[in-house]
Amino acid sequence: NAGVTQTPKFQVLKTGQSMTLQCAQDMNHNSMYWYRQDPGMGLRLIYYSASEGTTDKGEVPNGYNVSRLNKREFSLRLESAAPSQTSVYFCASSERKQPQHFGDGTRLSIL
Amino acid sequence: DQQVKQNSPSLSVQEGRISILNCDYTNSMFDYFLWYKKYPAEGPTFLISISSIKDKNEDGRFTVFLNKSAKHLSLHIVPSQPGDSAVYFCAAYSGGGADGLTFGKGTHLIIQP
């Protein structure tokens, strides 16, 4: 019962480098989400995908791109990493208007 | 502008007593509310939810109360147990429902033995 799996768990990047965070869910959910959590803050929505083939911006999309590869997978890409993107990134999935299931996060540091 | 507010960053409660965590919201379009629990180095775990058409929902030791006129909800944990020590997030869906959750900043609950 894997649920939502995120890779990698930890990553250190240099400013300007690019990387893709991977997320996969095995619950056959239509909707998938990417959030970031900064110290002392709640989770903030970066991008979401309401169904396969669609993506939309959330509250804090600048500096990120996403791809809904298929129903199971939703990736988040940083094209040119900046120190302000140092954060913990969470992927989640759900059916519409249902409780979201979260992965354990990717801890990303950008130097 | 924070649409979901948890004004207590931390709360300490004795084991066996009641824990009450509070949450206020400003967006009238919110119509479904959820509480999540989070341990360090893990993702948030869903605890309990309530629709805006209800004023109470109960699940075992956990009860959520919603006061729509005051735009306020609370989570009651009775009795509190050591394993309840965690950060609790209040979150809300708006009327559309497809555009993700809006979270509060969280309350760190500490259960004292």
What is the DSSP code string of B16-68? TS-EEEEEEE--TTEEEEEEEEE-TTS--EEEEEEETT-SEEEETTEEEEEET
Which pLDDT does position B98 carry in this prediction?
60
User: How much is the mean pLDDT over chain B?
Assistant: 95
CA distance B22 to chain A (A): 15
Q: Tell me which residue in B45, B89, B98 faces A42 most closely, judged by beta carbons.
A: B89
Across the interface, whether the CB atoms of B105 and A42 are under 8 A apart is answered yes
- Contact between chains at B97 and A99 (C-beta distance less than 8 A): no
Burial state string for B50-65 with b = 16 or more CB within 10 A and e = fewer than 16: bebeeeeeeeeebbbb
pLDDT of residue B94: 82
Give the distance, in angstroms, between the CA of residue B23 and the centroid of all CA atoms in the same chain: 7
Measure the CA angle with vertex B6, ends B4 and B12; round to 5°. Answer: 160
Contact between residue B59 and residue B73 where contact means Cβ atoms under 8 Å apart:
no
pLDDT at position A2 over 90: no
Q: Which pLDDT band holds residue A96 (cuts at 50, 70, 90)?
A: confident
Interface test with A, best of B35, B99, B102, B107 (most A CBs within 10 A): B99
Is A101–B98 a contact, with Cβ atoms under 8 angstroms apart?
A: no
DSSP A26: S
Task: Please state the separation of Cα B51 from the chain's center in Å.
Answer: 13
Burial class (CB in 10 A: 0-12, 13-18, 19+), B71: middle
Query: Two tokens at A95?
Result: 């059916």
Report the pLDDT value the prediction gives residue B76, as an integer from 0 to 100.
98
pLDDT of residue B97: 57
pLDDT digits (tens, 9 = 90+) for A18-70: 999 999 999 999 999 999 999 888 999 999 999 998 999 999 999 999 999 89
What does the pLDDT look like over B66-106, one tens digit per residue? Answer: 999 999 999 999 999 999 999 999 999 986 656 789 999 99
pLDDT classification of A71: cutoffs 50, 70, 90: very high
Distance from CA of B34 to the nearest CA of A (A): 7
- Cβ contact, residue pair A105, B4, below 8 Å: no
Integer distance in angstroms from the first to the last C-alpha of chain B?
Answer: 38
Res B43 pLDDT > 80: yes
Residue type, A59: E
Q: DSSP character for A16?
A: T
Output the six-digit token pair for B94: 């708006």
